[in-house]
Structure formats: structure tokens, C-alpha cells
Chains A and B, each alone.
Chain A
Amino acid sequence: MSEVTTAKKKRVELLFAAFLLLVGIIVFVDASQLQVTYSQSDVIGPKTVPFVVGGILVVSAIALIITVLRGNLAEGEEGEDVDLNQPTDWKVILPLLGIFAVTILIINWAGWVISGTLLFFGTAVCLGSRRWVLTFLIALVVSLGSFYGFYVGLGIKLPAGILSGVL
């Protein structure tokens, strides 16, 4: 591995360690704002456990920073469809997250069938599916299928949204 990518990897991982540190500090700050009223039945109060948790996070974050600076970098998780020789492909991830966010935003208004179709179709296309019609048909089938399957089979009513009355 070239030195440039190692340096960059190091920086990204330090950023993650900083995130851990931040979470630890947030846990501390949040806990310190709790009110403690001493009572016989609750001697250690609501603060103790959050303080311990915050402590674990802060200590492990600092230890991680030291480890990373010493050059012990993380290995990404392996998997059958995972090619670790490629860097993270943001051109797939960002649109995919976008689709996901849009789905959540419209779910109450548009209902499950429309937002579910969008979610399946959108993410499949992001992941490289180019058979548009087939992808769309599958998306529609799983959305409709899950809507009716949940309704008829499980008695769970997913929101129909603007299609209520039609479905």
C-alpha cells in the first residue's frame, strides 16, 4: 500500500476515534445534567452508569487514537460480495442514502406502496441494476405484495397514503 493512502486511512480512522470521544463526552455532559435526589432506595443515582459508559468510550477512544498513531490500522470486514481492494464507493452510497431519506420523508404522505417501490427501485439502480423495467416490476410486486401480505396475512395495516381508497 502506498504511503499516501495509508496516511489518508490514518486520518479517517482518527476522525472516527474523535467521534467516539465526542459520544463519550456527550454521555458525560448529558449525565451531569441529571438531578440527584438522595434516597435510601437509590443510592448511586441515575448518574453512575452513564459516567461509567462515558468513561469506557473516552478511554477506548484515546486508546484507539494511540493505536492508530502507532500504525495499527483497522481492517474492513470481509465478505463474499465485498472487494476491499476498492475504496469506499461514495457514488453508490450517497445516492443510496438520498433515496433512503426521501423514502422516509414521503412515507406518511405517499404510503407504503409508493415509497416502498421507490426504495427498492432506487437502491437497486444505485447498486448497478440496468434492467429498468424488470427492476421496476419487482419493486412494485414486493411493495404491493408486502402491503397486502401484511394486511391479509398478519392483520397489520401499513399506511396506504394518497392511494387509500384505491388499494
Chain B
Amino acid sequence: MDTFNLLMDGFASALTPMNLLFAFAGVMLGTAVGVLPGIGPAMAVALLLPVTYGMETSSALIMFAGIYYGGMYGGSTTSILLNTPGESATVITAIEGHKMAKAGRAAQALATAAIGSFIAGTIGTALLVTIAPFVVKFAVSIGDPSYFAIMVLALITVTAVLGSSKIRGFASLGLGLAIGLVGADPVTAQDRLTFGIPTLVDGLDIVVVAVAIFAIGEALWIAAHLRTTPAKTIPVGTPWMGKEDWKRSWKPWLRGTAFGFPFGALPAGGAEVPTFLSYVTEKKLSKHPEEFGHGAIEGVAGPEAANNASAAGTLTPMLALGLPTNATAAVMLAFLMMKGIQPGPLLFENEPELVWALIASLFIGNTLLLLINLPLAPMWAKLLKIPRPFLYAGILFFATLGAFSVNMQAMDLWMLLLIGLLGFALRRFGLPVLPLILGVIICPMAEVRLRKTFQLSNGDISGLWSEPLAVGIYILIAVLLSLPLWIALFRRLRGKPAVSEDAIAIDHIEVPSDEAGAGSNQPTNTSGLKGSDKK
């Protein structure tokens, strides 16, 4: 099979001793940074981008794959041991995982998360291998109107479907699109929103924007509200699982994978919905439903697998269409573009060896992660105790270093500060970050497609829906936007069906669980840990 041979070539180029070393370094760095409190996977990846600047492309790719999986696993570790979801996708993991940890089963929680992530990541990447060529073939056949419609769909779903406040979501999207407009217009080369500043003509560097929003904005926000007594962590030995744990975990892993991948692969991606669906399903199917809410292992195994499978799924539109649908994929796209690689259907044709080396690297990174992280978990757990002033000073320091080393321009640092302040404001005023970051990246791509669409239709607006696929997508968008209305109608007609209850609960789950988390952090900490805090 053609794909298989290409993948084997990918393995061959990724499996040199030097590249294995890079993969190892990537996994270590990614986990170390991802495990730090306050750093989600997207921020971990953004902060570590500069490490790959001077590298040869294929080595950078394999290192990046390691960082990617390492950062994600690091985030889960933090959720379990500290009850601190680094991003919304690990909120569910934190619910049951932290309860397990408090009940003295941290080792099992970490083990089921690690093994589940490995299985889901491997199956997910295998599915990526199978599906990507079809998506590419399909992507080559569709025209600009459909492309534009898909981008609109991606923006609408992250803005209107996933967030809790639609108005704030659209405000965030608007800001992102505005940032994406900065620079020379792609067709007429006139300056837009540059205010006469020459360095802005090329547009804002996406790495600078990502680092500013994720790292600077977050660090400033935390600095403004820094807890005087940081949350206590739970000490942990080497993760392991008993026979009973395996028995209870393997089905949730597979079901979680089944939920996660499709949601990630659709341009309407996001890991929140599949992790939540997986949690609800496991709760329903479990023989121990009474344990849910008190540390049920299925509640960690399923959502963790769903999260990782969705991350692998996200790579399908990212690589095959050039369309990122979550924050980490957005940073990954920025990384690829920085390396002069333009993801999209043509990438598979023009540079197959790069694509397949990257995909092979994902398999390798995922495997290394499991091998390294199980024995090293106690060491990672120690990182959770790093004094907060050093941690956040370090984030600011490395964010500055990363943004500066792109172009060595002080101007980039002013942009970093300015957009960092914007990131602070987003967090202060409850605006979601994701619509902004996707807006920045997708805005220029979508504009080019839109203008080509109108070029083809000679300015006739019906050009927008001149392809059947585009029509279908606009109908889907209309359905999604009117979903709350449908649910309300449905409930009124049929009483209170369980399905709509769940669908509604997705919108609200983050709020109560977050509050519960923050509230239970302080008083319920296990005692007797304080002595080991300071040496």
C-alpha cells in the first residue's frame, strides 16, 4: 500500500539515533514545561518553539512531536495532582482524577491517564494515517467557496458552540480577526491597520501573538491575583495499576478514543465535547456508578483517551486542509509556517517525506512518552512545588526570549507586551482565548478564499453557495447557531428528554466544576504535606 510505504519511509527518516535523541529531548522538555502549574499544552508548545529555531526541519519536526505529546501529558498530570486543568479539555480529567489522588490512588490515576493517552494517541495517529490521504484527495477536489465555508464553520463552532457566553466569544473572534488583518492586503498590497509602522507591514508574527496571548496574558493575570498560599500537591510514587484497574480501564480507553477522534477530525473540533460525552457514557455504563464524583477510574481513563484521540484527530484538518481547530494545533501551524511549510492538500503532494516524517514522529513521541513518564512521574510531581515567583518570572522570561529570538527586534517585544495586556483583559472580562487565536490565523486564509470565490462568480454573491458542499456547510452552521432554540423547542414538545439535558450541560459543566475545584482546593488538602514542601 502506498500510504504504508510512505509511512515506513517516514519512520526511516525519523528513527536515526540523532533524531531519537531530539524526540527524547522534546518529550522531556514538553512534559517538564507542561507539568508546570499554570501552563496548558498550547502555552507549553508556544514557549518551547524557539528551541527548534535553529534546527534542520526534520529534526525540528520530530522534536516538536515530542513536545506536543509531552505538553499534553504534563497537563493531565497537573490536573490529577493539583486539580488544575491547564485547559478546558482536561477539566473532566481533573474531576475524577483529583478525587482519586486524594483517596490515595494518584498512582493509578496517573497510570490510567498515561496508558490511555498512549493507546488513544496511537490509534488516533493510525486513523490519521488512514484518513488523511482521503481528506487530501477530497480537499483537492473542493473549490474556494467550500473552503471558505469550512473556515467559517470552524470559527463559528469555536465561538458560538463551545464557549459559555456567545457575545464574549464573538467579541474575542472580532479582535482576533482584526489582528489577522494587520499588514499588507494580500491582493492590492495596500497597508491595513499598520498605522504607519513599517514593521507591521508583514503582519504580526503569529508566534509573537500566540506567546503574548497564552504566556504573557496568563502570567499577568495570575500575577494580579496570585494566591498567597499556593495549592498543595499530592505526592506520588511510580504509577501502576492492579488487575482490577486494567479491567475497568480498557473499555473506557477504547470508547474515549472513539468519541475523541471524530470530534477532533471535524473542522468543528475541540476536546470539550468528546471528553464530556465520554465521561457521561462511562458513568452510565459503569458497574460502579456510585464511585463517580468520588474518584472512579473510568472517569479518568475515558476522558483522557478522548482528549488525546481528539488531539490526534485535530491534526487531520490541520495537515490536510491547513486549518487549525484548537489552540495547540494553531501553535503547531505557526511552527510549520515558520519552518516554511504550508500545510494543506498540496503539502502531501509536494513534500511527502516531511509529512510522513512528522506522522512517524508522532508515533515515536507517543511511545517514548509512555516509556519515560511512567517511571519519572514522581520527579514531575516535584516540579509542581516550584516557588510561584520563580515560576511566573520564568514564564515571562522565556516568553520574552521566544518572541525576541524570532526576529531580534525590540518592536516585537512591544507587540508582545501590548497583546499580552490584551490577553490579560480577555481573562479579566471572561472572553475565551481560542476564538481570538484562530481568528488571527484563519483571517488571512479565509480572505484569500473569499476573494477568489467572488472572482470566480464575477462579484455575484451567489458564488458563496455555488458548490453543494458549501450549501451543506451553511445549513449546518445555521443549525448549530439555532441549536439552543431547537433544544428548547424539543424539550417543550417532549417533556424532558435526557439527550437535550446532556447537550445543555456541556455549556455549563465548566463553570460548576471550576468553582468546585477552586473551592475545594484549600480546605480539603491532605495534611502532613507541608513539611516536605520546604527543605
- B190 and A127 within 8 A (CB): no
Known: A81-B230, A123-B396, A142-B397. A104 touches B514 (CB 8 A): no
Size of the A side of the interface (Cβ < 8 Å), in residues, is 85
Contact digits for A38-66, partner B, Cβ 8 Å, 1 yes 0 no: 00111111101110011011011101100
A41 CA / B451 CA spacing, docked (Å): 8
A24 CA / B425 CA spacing, docked (Å): 16
In the complex, which residues of chain A have a beta carbon less than 8 angstroms from the beta carbon of B223? 89, 92-93, 96, 126-127
A89 to chain B minimum Cβ distance, whole angstroms, is 5
Known: A46-B185, A61-B171, A154-B55. A76 touches B454 (CB 8 A): no
In the complex, which residues of chain B have a beta carbon less than 8 angstroms from the beta carbon of A20? 171, 174-175
- A78 and B429 within 8 A (CB): no
In the complex, which residues of chain A have a beta carbon less than 8 angstroms from the beta carbon of B218? 79
- Return the chain A residue nearest B184 by Cβ: A46
- Return the chain B residue nearest A153 by Cβ: B54
* A133 lies within 8 A of chain B by Cβ: no
- Return the chain B residue nearest A20 by Cβ: B171
In the complex, which residues of chain A have a beta carbon less than 8 angstroms from the beta carbon of B443? 49, 53
Size of the B side of the interface (Cβ < 8 Å), in residues, is 81
B332 to chain A minimum Cβ distance, whole angstroms, is 19
Known: A42-B451, A127-B388. A119 touches B400 (CB 8 A): yes
* A144 lies within 8 A of chain B by Cβ: no
- Return the chain A residue nearest B219 by Cβ: A123
B182 to chain A minimum Cβ distance, whole angstroms, is 10
In the complex, which residues of chain B have a beta carbon less than 8 angstroms from the beta carbon of A90? 224
In the complex, which residues of chain B have a beta carbon less than 8 angstroms from the beta carbon of A78? 514-515, 517-518
Which chain A residues (106-120) contact chain B, with CB distance < 8 Å? 107-108, 112, 116, 119-120
A46 CA / B191 CA spacing, docked (Å): 10
A49 to chain B minimum Cβ distance, whole angstroms, is 5
- A88 and B428 within 8 A (CB): yes
In the complex, which residues of chain A have a beta carbon less than 8 angstroms from the beta carbon of B226? 81-83, 89, 92, 127-128
- Return the chain B residue nearest A91 by Cβ: B224
A45 to chain B minimum Cβ distance, whole angstroms, is 7
A90 CA / B226 CA spacing, docked (Å): 12
Known: A43-B458, A75-B430, A97-B417. A129 touches B389 (CB 8 A): yes
Cross-chain pair count, CB within 8 angstroms: 243
A125 CA / B398 CA spacing, docked (Å): 17
- B397 and A46 within 8 A (CB): no
- A158 and B405 within 8 A (CB): yes
A103 CA / B216 CA spacing, docked (Å): 15
A64 CA / B425 CA spacing, docked (Å): 14
A123 to chain B minimum Cβ distance, whole angstroms, is 4
B530 to chain A minimum Cβ distance, whole angstroms, is 17
Known: A123-B392, A158-B405. A89 touches B225 (CB 8 A): yes
Which of B53, B173, B397 is close to A120, meaning CB atoms less than 8 Å apart? B397
Which of A53, A119, A128 is close to B397, meaning CB atoms less than 8 Å apart? A119
- A120 and B225 within 8 A (CB): no
In the complex, which residues of chain A have a beta carbon less than 8 angstroms from the beta carbon of B450? 44, 48-49
- Return the chain A residue nearest B221 by Cβ: A77
Which chain B residues (144-199) contact chain A, with CB distance < 8 Å? 165, 167-168, 170-171, 173-175, 177-178, 181, 185, 187-188, 190, 192-193
In the complex, which residues of chain A have a beta carbon less than 8 angstroms from the beta carbon of B170? 56, 59-60, 63
* B82 lies within 8 A of chain A by Cβ: yes
- B174 and A53 within 8 A (CB): yes
B48 to chain A minimum Cβ distance, whole angstroms, is 12
A113 CA / B355 CA spacing, docked (Å): 38
In the complex, which residues of chain A have a beta carbon less than 8 angstroms from the beta carbon of B231? 80-81
- Return the chain B residue nearest A89 by Cβ: B224
- A30 and B171 within 8 A (CB): no
* A164 lies within 8 A of chain B by Cβ: no
In the complex, which residues of chain A have a beta carbon less than 8 angstroms from the beta carbon of B168? 60, 64, 74
- B227 and A82 within 8 A (CB): yes
Contact digits for B367-392, partner A, Cβ 8 Å, 1 yes 0 no: 00000000000000000000111101
- B220 and A46 within 8 A (CB): no
Known: A42-B451, A50-B181, A81-B231. A57 touches B188 (CB 8 A): no
- Return the chain B residue nearest A64 by Cβ: B167
23 A/B residue pairs, CB under 8 Å, sorted by A: A20-B171, A24-B174, A27-B178, A27-B181, A34-B192, A35-B190, A37-B188, A43-B451, A50-B193, A60-B170, A76-B221, A80-B83, A84-B225, A88-B224, A93-B224, A97-B417, A108-B410, A123-B392, A127-B226, A150-B50, A154-B53, A154-B54, A155-B54
16 more A-B contacts (CB under 8 A) besides A13-B429, A84-B518, A100-B417? A40-B458, A44-B451, A49-B446, A50-B193, A56-B173, A57-B171, A59-B170, A74-B430, A75-B511, A79-B221, A80-B521, A89-B224, A90-B224, A104-B414, A112-B404, A139-B393
Closest 4 CB pairs of A and B: A74-B430, A154-B54, A80-B84, A43-B459
